[in-house]
A and B are shown apart, each in its own frame.
Chain A
């Protein structure tokens, strides 16, 4: 059964639609540049590190988005200031930051579980549980989303030139370090938002998947961003709808939203890859 009754009047569902939609929009906008800059791994690492903040916030009883965002921004600042030109060095540092972050996550989740005797926090932090997001989080979500998008809009053209070549950017007087730092901060906000919704481990799927599909289809940067946002929204909202419906498939317990979102992202990516492989039939040229 698709579109089970009560979908659009259910409070937790509406919160999931708003927060998940915000995460999908920001992930689409930032993700296009993440792929063009070859920083998918950095995106994943920031999400993992943000999970340390998320798990700590459960322990302290503060707004989890603050935890996810705070930790991701700190890690992004470290990675941004390190300014590694050599991709191998950069991957190395990223991996080390990632490891340290997950170590903290392990510690905080252990305390969460021993002090509250529940494993719910671990599932929520790592794999998300969208229907249990409190509505009170919406204003902060929208603020974080607006901040990330504003940063990308401001740095739009310098980011594009840098993706062509660091030297071409430099010769135009682009301050590559500053632009790189702005970008990685926007990235940290994007992954914190999606870690909050579909979980730290799965947030990379929302960051990379829709953007990768869009980059296969769009020939212009603006279109790539719009398409990535559209695909991300379709996967997120479609996933929420399917998860809501799944309460009726297996009565008593629905399936996790994150599972549906990630599966839809994969489906969209495969569709884009097929379209790109057979452009003649699709574009009619």
Chain B
């Protein structure tokens, strides 16, 4: 009988143990379930969500690099990409141990007044969500509130974006596109804008010496009226702020500054040796920059005209069409003789002059050290860009830009490929002359020298700058958006959160 009693007691213990194990298992299971949910969210979903943005931005970098090649290496820009429907697209690029992938689509959506293309870069980055297909999102904020699923859109079976908005997000071509494994895709849209060269009155990548002790650099904005020398000393004038933007930027360590600068002065860790200098703005000695060599832009699409090929005395160009900033009338000139005289007339329609766009590429020097030097005359309505491979030497009074808008006459010095060749630009106003000009110069590889005391409206970008004259230099603030693109920068970033 005792055996029977003992058996009953053992069963009771077993029951207790089983119950305990059940309770502990329930708690353990609940803990594991919650841990898995958190783990899924933190380790898989959040990780994938962040990595997909990384992939999208990587695609943006890849596309941006191709856009920059349009300036620095035009023949290889978008090499290997597919061009269709006005847009470049690339094949998916896969990288990283998590097999992130990215694709990009680039289209020039806008051309500014200088003919520079603005590019829209749309990229998609995809990161796989590792593990099984679990809808384990952390959505438990309340009965009527959703959490992660509002923010993180995971494609478990189909690409929700393509199904709803189409592959390009424009509502065209919606389809059920199966995904091989759960994934998160994020999309960003970047705008790459051209960087134009004339952001300051004078920008020297090397050394700087000047100006004369009675010289000055000031500014104005042509959109608000013609230049008025009295504005810069009259704070009550509404144009006063625009008159103090005659900024000088020097990438050298030592700058010898004379005259008055109605603007800021930037150097690269340098020492400003002030003599008679008065600087109205700030002096910042920590503004480094670099000037990339300038290469001849692609002339594809330009309206090439074979004659004239030589600029002699009294050479006149009158185009048969107005052209446009991005498709100008294009002349290839192999000689610009020292006493050459070039006049470019506007195209007229019914006797009315039209805004006419002309580009001249001179493959030799323009002028030499002898004689009066070559002359260039640009009447109103003409927008002339001169590209030259060699040196430029003439007198300031030989540059005649009737409109007074510096952006209507632009000089671009194509950088020599031989580093031993030093390009030069020499402008002289002649003894005692104060005649000047309105023009801009982008000569990043050239030593730029101005002698005399010309009155100049415009901007200069050069390597080393030297002048000893009492120049009166007026920078037109409208120039900060003028000129050929010398680089690209991303100025807009939007994530497509659909």
Q: Do A and B bind each other?
A: no
Which residues of B come within 8 Å of A, CB atoms?
A: none
